[in-house]
Amino acid sequence: MASKSNVYAGVAGYVGRADQQGTVGVFTRGAETGRWEHSLADQETYTVNIHPTDPNVVFAGTADGVYRSTDRGKTFQRTNFPDKGIQIWSFLVDANDRKLIYAGGSPISMYRSEDTGETWRKLPDPGMPDRAVMPFACRVMRMAQHPAKPGTIFAALEVNGVMRTTDGGESWSDCSSDLIRLAQQPHLKSKIVSDTYNEGMLDGHAIAISPADPDKVIVAVRMGLFETGDGGKTWQDMEVGRFSPTTYGRDIKVSPQDGSTLYAALSVAASSKDGAIYRSTDKGST
């Protein structure tokens, strides 16, 4: 009997360790079986996204654009993607038009498909300034769409803060100036590999919007979880350290069943063996 659900893993290899070579790509397995199949073997893969209304369609963000499966991850083919050698780190499927897909790239760039990922168009350059010179090109790590205004999308950037579009990605505005203001506080300064102590507050890993509070945006950065209620003009520290001994914001997700329930992945540092999942049932208050 065929498995009803699949699990996917995207593997990108070792960061900054040329001496360590591993197997990369996309691995697929039935949720009830114990066996992983190596279904995309020749491309580093940074993200895997299952289409929300058609589980046969699976997107892989790779070191060479977008690959797509139409058979639940058994096989992947490179899509009609306009550029070679662009890393894709994130996907967003439009909540209203399920054929409309956004892909976030590295260096910071945005692509859009209007045919469920078969063909892609590069959108205008977001024009974000380089604020922290890193040993890698900055990337669009995650996107979140306003539940009532589908043209409004926020994107978390590693390492460059947050940007926002209100016209479906045709133009972008910078939402990072207040993150930099917060980075002047001693406990929010962090510098690992760049030339600025703003690095930690600009180190965006994930971003989320809850339909229970659609004008509040939460970003997970190295220094914790921060929220805005005014479209990114100002940001407030959610002070997740009140509840967790580790505050390095790795991920923030809204439950698809209950908009008041949030999940946060918190760790100690960029590379560590400690971390935990925290859950809030009151939109992040506790």
Q: Look at residue 15 in the predicted model and tell me its pLDDT.
A: 61
Confidence of residue 133 (pLDDT cuts 50, 70, 90): confident
Q: CA 50 → CA 116, 122, 175, distances in Å?
A: 11, 22, 29
Q: CA 191 → CA 15, 34, 54, 229, distances in Å?
A: 18, 41, 42, 28
**Portion of the chain with pLDDT greater than 70, in percent:** 97
Given CA atoms 158, 6, 85, 90 in this order, what sign does their dihedral have?
A: negative
Q: Look at residue 2 in the predicted model and tell me its pLDDT.
A: 54
For 86-115, the pLDDT digits (tens) are 999 999 999 999 999 999 999 999 999 999
Q: Look at residue 195 in the predicted model and tell me its pLDDT.
A: 87
Q: Look at residue 205 in the predicted model and tell me its pLDDT.
A: 97
Average pLDDT over the chain, rounded to an integer: 93
> Considering only 30-44, 55-69, 248-262, which range has the smallest mean pLDDT?
30-44
Confidence of residue 54 (pLDDT cuts 50, 70, 90): very high
Give me 157's structure tokens: 């950037």
283 has a pLDDT exceeding 70:
yes
Confidence of residue 16 (pLDDT cuts 50, 70, 90): low
Residue 18 has phi, psi (to 5 degrees) of -65, -20
Confidence of residue 158 (pLDDT cuts 50, 70, 90): very high
Given CA atoms 126, 131, 135, 140 in this order, what sign does their dihedral have?
A: negative
Secondary structure class of 270 (helix, strand, coil): coil
202 has a pLDDT exceeding 90:
yes
Check if the beta carbon of residue 223 is closer than 8 Å to that of residue 204: no
The answer to whether the bond into 55 is cis (omega within 30° of 0) is no
39 has a pLDDT exceeding 90:
yes
pTM over the 0.85 mark: yes
> Considering only 26-30, 36-40, 94-98, 269-273, which range has the smallest mean pLDDT?
269-273
What DSSP string runs through 151-162?
Answer: T-EEEEEETTEE
Q: Look at residue 42 in the predicted model and tell me its pLDDT.
A: 87
The conformation of residue 119, written as its DSSP 8-state character, comes to B
